[in-house]
Amino acid sequence: MPEFKVDLCTMDESRYFNRDISWLSFNYRVLQEAMDPSLPIYERIKFLAIYSSNLDEFFRVRVGVIRHSLTISKEREKAELLLSQINEIVDSQQKEFGYVFRETVLPELERNGIRLILDGHFTKKQQSFLKQYYQEELIFHVQPILLVKNKVVPFLQNGSIYLLVALTSKRKKASKTGKSANTATKRRKYAILKIPSDVAKRFVELPAANSKFCITFLDDVIRFNMEEIFKGYDIEFAYSIKLSRDADLHIEDEFRGDLVEKVKKSLGKRKTGEPSRFLYDEKMPKDAVSFLKTTFKLKKNEMIAGGGYHNFYDFFKFPNPLSPALESFPRLPLRLPHFDSFPSMFEAIKTKDWILHFPYQNYDYVLRFLNEASFDPKVFEIKATQYRVAPESGIVNALINAARNGKKVTVFVEVKARFDEESNMRFAQQMASAGVNIIYSLPGLKMHAKAILVSRESGNRRGVRQYGYLSTGNFNESTAKIYADHGYFTSTYEICDELTLFFKELEKRTNEISFQQLLVAQYNMVPRLHELIDREIKNAKNGKKANIVIKLNNLEDESMIDKLYEASIAGVTIEIIVRSICRVIPNQTFSKNIRVRRIVDQYLEHARICVFYNGGEEEVYLSSADWMKRNLLHRIELGFPINDPTLKSELLEIIQLQLKDNTKARIIDEHLRNIHPPKVGLIHRSQSETYELLKNKYYQVFADD
């Protein structure tokens, strides 16, 4: 199937791609990885799961916002058009998704001796197993509800899978006279039952058949036992349905009252949010679809026909009886022998600045930094931000231990981090109980900066030395295994003094502090970025080489895009590496010097980097911030320079590898298509080459020493 082509009507004023259509282009790029025959089959299955998970969140979050616009008269027409375009594109992608799953993934599994049974054609041995499995594992979790029009309307839980079952009463046996005791025409009734995938495995491993490992959906285990569930009825059909609900918290006023309590109350409402997408099996009869629409009071544009199985993100846990065969070979995170040669983290960081590249290198250094700080007798204060942390967070445990060991610990906890609100509040309560000073979300802003500052007694003239850690990604040791980010350790006065000012400003909010080294959203980030772009524009107009490289997750803010357009018109060459949303339209008169690419590979590209050529004296900044309105205008973000020549050179090497990638990179064209770059000359795959670069560099240097 050809990739979708975007019409100009999906753009705003023909200068920017629509952000949501652009995001769908990114998710299609994820789907492309599931089509790649060079990948192990379980890696391709993983990308199907990622695509499904991404799309589910898109409907819960973005489509929920768009549907809210339908209630505003002046935005209704535009919102209706956008929803129509989204549904058309998603429908096309879903058809391709189904084709990839049925025609490539399932046959490849079969060739490797693994059969996913979808048609209910079970052997007698498997049938006996399924009956026993239902009685022993599922019977107490299956609770069917008979639907009575205008009387019994059960609440559909967000994201749960249900079966709509059509029932007819069984005819009574014929009497001795030969006449049926019930000659009335059978009347169809409907019932729904929830697939209990929250308490049972979504995939059930069956007894082998024909030397094949056999697996089936939990859904089909329920279908097979339907007569046991609905005794006294004939089963006409059972089709899958699923409702996604708006996930926005809709906090009306963050500036008055207790914000944490408002978030807690809103979390309860999220579970009962307005419908954003109602999925049903496209094979379902029209009268059954109409019944659902009426019963659950759904709007026509909320109902979307789909496949027979939903929640494909459950394929993250699809069993592999041949593991580790058929999977990607994991790269072991690298250590830094030179770093390890120091007796402590503080000695290492005092000696020089360090940069770490995750997940290529071990995240243990971050945990070690905080653990050492928690028991070092010379450390007297720790300050940190928290946006998203791991479920069993070593970061949080270290901060708790520090407080228990008498350190003064302050943590700025963001309670509005979507889908992590409950987790963050729970960790905040644990830390507060241990004596950590907790400062919650700032009204109207989100804390998205990634920073830690440790203050330690020293024999220098100040009597104290500070150690900072800044990152492009969250303090989360779980996601650090798959998110490609950069972390920076420093004890330089220039950075640590400004980090001190940054944390003081968070506590007192004077809005009077100026920053020279750090880029801080709400303070100097946007003006400074404009200055750096303007300098490249000036150099280009003076006939000098001018170049900008930007790597982001999302590029959406129109004012920043306009600045890039201005630079392009002036002759500045601009390379953009973007993972997700990109509203820049390339190959136009105002963007002829802009080239946009995205990389989707084994790791999720998450780092934010800006490189300004500056007449050959490159300035390199890492940042927590994407170029989106929400990041630049409604969040606290941190950007920081990499001034050390060796570290700067290392980052530039990694960026060049990504610009050379002709295997997992795609060029985004003016129609939002993901175009494979021509494979001219050597084959480059940046993630593999980055790992080899770092392994050879650090281990070779250490061996030479």
Angle at 359 between CA 355 and CA 362, to 5 degrees: 65
∠ Cα 272 195 157 (to 5°)? 0
3-state class (DSSP) for residue 611: strand
Q: Is 676 a catalytic residue?
A: no
Q: How far apart are CA 37 and CA 46, in angstroms?
A: 14
DSSP code, position 105:
I
The CA distance from 657 to 575, in Å, is 13
Other Cβ atoms closer than 10 A to 421: 20
In this structure, which long-range contacts are made by residues 649-654, counting pairs with CB atoms below 8 Å and at least 24 apart in sequence? 650/355, 650/697, 651/355, 651/486, 651/609, 651/611, 651/620, 651/622, 652/611, 652/618, 652/620, 653/693, 654/357, 654/686, 654/690, 654/693
Per-position DSSP letters for 672-698, written without gaps between them: --EEPPP--SS---HHHHHHHHHHHHH
Beta strand pairing call for 573-578 and 547-552:
parallel
Distances (CA, A) of 552 to 79, 180, 500: 27, 73, 27
Query: In angstroms, what CA-CA distances link 521 with 448, 619, 628, 640?
Result: 10, 19, 11, 12
Write out the H or E segment, with its range, that includes residue 373: helix 364-375
Q: How far apart are CA 332 and CA 275, in angstroms?
A: 43
* CA-wise closest residue to 379 among 462, 465, 461, 451: 465
| Phi and psi based region of residue 677 (left: phi greater than 0; alpha: psi -120 to 50; beta: remaining) | beta
What residues contact 646, with CB distance under 8 A and at least 6 apart?
none
SS3 (DSSP) at 165 = strand
Instruction: Return the structure tokens found at 678.
Output: 């021509």
Residues whose CB is less than 8 angstroms from the CB of residue 48 and which lie 6 or more positions away in sequence, other chains included: 31, 34, 97, 100, 101, 105, 312, 315
Query: Do 195 and 157 contact (CB within 8 A), yes or no?
Result: no
Sheet of strand 161-169: strand arrangement: 145-147, 189-194, 161-169, 233-245, 275-281, 303-306
Residues 6+ apart with CB under 8 A from 265: none
Nearest to 84 by CA among 60, 67, 72: 67
- Of the residues 310, 448, 606, 684, only one is catalytic, namely 448
CA pair distance 478, 395, nearest whole angstrom: 11
The set of residues, in sequence order, having a beta carbon less than 8 Å from that of 460 and lying 6+ positions away, is none
Q: Is 456 helix (H, G, I), strand (E, B) or coil?
A: strand
| Catalytic sites, residue numbers | 448
